[in-house]
Amino acid sequence: MLILNKTAGVFFKPSKRKVYEFLRSFNFHPGTLFLHKIVLGIETSCDDTAAAVVDETGNVLGEAIHSQTEVHLKTGGIVPAVAQQLHRDNIQRIVQEALSASRISPSDLSAIATTIKPGLALSLGVGLSFSLQLVGQLKKPFIPIHHMEAHALTIRLTNKVEFPFLVLLISGGHCLLALVQGVSDFLLLGKSLDIAPGDMLDKVARRLSLIKHPECSTMSGGKAIEHLAKQGNRFHFDIKPPLHRAKNCDFSFTGLQQVTNKRIMKKEKEEGIEEGQILSSAADIAATVQHTMACHIVKRTHRAILFCKQRDLLPQNNAVLVASGGVASNFYVRRALEILTNATQCTLLCPPPRLCTDNGIMIA
Ligand code: KG4
Ligand code: ZN
């Protein structure tokens, strides 16, 4: 094998080590020799059918995703049997698309990784049975993946992060703070006592009928709230953040949802409109809910940072806080967390928004 030395403009016969380095620098194309391990990741834990092909150095070779958001928005929430059917209808196509984009033949895969928990049982089942069938056909190893661990470790694709670090996972189904001490070594510091923040935002968005709002009709509840909040006044209402006296790192969002519902009912009366119509103060309500949620998340995270530093579980300076999950794609929440990390000599790292929401890359 000969390598072109670009500076000298000549070919030379390299050492074995150089050949290896050269091959490692390649992205894969059909017919090209490669040494990297390549994993197909499959995710069906909730309402996204997603697949990706990633190599062991984190190069994303191919990706595909089918979102069910629009269907579930119409039915006013996720109906598990509907989600299951949609996963069944799409999984083969999505896996095929990810593989085609990667230009990797299935026989060249090193393993197949699939979300096995936590999530909706009917949705998880589709990904699992599809994967096991594929594993059997291709005779490849199977890697079972914990969905929350995948969210927590996604940051290692985009940033060099040393263990230990603190992780805040805020999504539609989960809300937790954990100290990540290794790839599968997590110390749980706090969790939601009731619903997750994304679930709360989805419920408020539904109550505000934002699906009928011309600017938000195809957005998830959380995204719609973020979008409208930019036009609203967060001081219009005053809602106290939940659990402000609790001396732990737990969260709660049901109270916030209920108080917001009461405000909405009061406003509907004042504006003389029925449930299902858009309130003129919808943007103010969105801004207030988003702000109160962000304050609550930041206060609980602050407690976790102090706890870890007091016990030397995190370094005193430049400790890393990773925020991930669908709600961490919210820029208001990110800004609030940034203020916290600046004040506590920590560094905030968030995966790009498309890697915060469910995807196949994090599983692979
Ligand atoms: O991580 P994810 O895709 O799925 C779960 O594992 O739950 O998160 C989905 C959740 C939904 O509740 C959605 O409303 C919320 O994340 N979400 C957002 C935003 N984008 C998605 N919440 C706040 N702001 C956003 N921009
Ligand atoms: Zn998720």
C-alpha span between 45 and 29 (Å, rounded): 31
| Residue 42 near residue 115, CB atoms below 8 Å | yes
Helix (H, G, I), strand (E, B) or coil at 98: helix
Question: In CATH terms, are 38-140 and 165-355 the same topology?
Answer: yes
What integer best gives the mean pLDDT of the chain?
90
pLDDT at 5: 34
CB of 216 closer than 8 Å to CB of 224 = yes
Ligand 1 centroid to Cα of residue 327, in Å, is 5
Query: CA 316, 317, 318, 324: dihedral to nearest 10 degrees?
Result: 30
Largest CA distance in the chain: 82
Using the mean position of ligand 1's atoms as its centre, give its distance from the Cα of residue 325 in Å: 7
pTM: 0.85
CATH number of 38-140: 3.30.420.40
Cβ neighbours for 343, distance < 8 A, ≥ 6 positions apart:
none
Query: Cα(129) to centroid of ligand 2, in Å?
Result: 20
Q: Assess whether the C-beta atom of 119 lies below 6 angstroms from ligand 1.
A: no
Please give all residues whose CB falls under 5 A of ion ligand 2, grouped by chain where several chains appear: 171, 358
The per-residue pLDDT for range 230-287, each reduced to its tens digit, is: 999 998 878 888 898 899 999 999 999 999 999 999 999 999 998 989 999 999 999 9
Instruction: Give the residue extent of every domain in the chain.
Output: 38-140, 165-355
By DSSP bridging, strand 319-324 and strand 346-349 are parallel
Cα three-residue angle 304-310-313, rounded to 5 degrees: 70
Q: Which ligand is nearest to the CA of 328?
A: 1
From 201, 289, 332, the mutation candidate for ligand 1 (largest count of ligand atoms within 8 A of CB) is 201
Distances (CA, A) of 97 to 44, 56, 133: 16, 20, 18
Give residues with Cβ within 8 angstroms of 257, minimum separation 6.
Answer: 195, 200, 203, 204
Residue 26 has a pLDDT of 41
Please tell me the CATH code under which domain 165-355 is placed: 3.30.420.40
pLDDT tens digits, 74-133 = 888 889 999 999 999 999 999 999 999 999 999 999 999 999 999 999 999 999 999 999
> Ligand 1: does its nearest atom lie under 6 Å from the Cβ of 47?
no
* Mean pLDDT of the 300-311 span: 97
